[in-house]
Amino acid sequence: MTILDQILDQTGWILADAATGTNFFKQGLETGYPPELWNV
């Protein structure tokens, strides 16, 4: 379980900044794939 999973379990939500998309790309998000699906 990641720290984000732990925070989500405790609070029910996570507020992310503008660097979230950059981090998604670092984790494997490909250009053209909808990043919104990674937010679920």
Domain that holds residue 7: 3-39
Quick one: pLDDT at residue 10? 95
- Of 12, 13, 11, 30, the C-alpha closest to 21 is 30
Provide, for the chain, the percentages of residues in helix, strand and coil under a 3-state DSSP scheme, each rounded to the nearest 5. Answer: 50, 0, 50
pLDDT in tens, the chain (40 residues): 888 899 999 999 988 777 888 888 999 999 999 888 887 7
Residues 24/29/33/35 CA torsion (nearest 10 deg): -10
Measured CA to CA, the distance from residue 23 to residue 9 in angstroms comes to 21
The total of structural domains in the chain comes to 1
Q: What is the pLDDT of residue 4?
A: 87
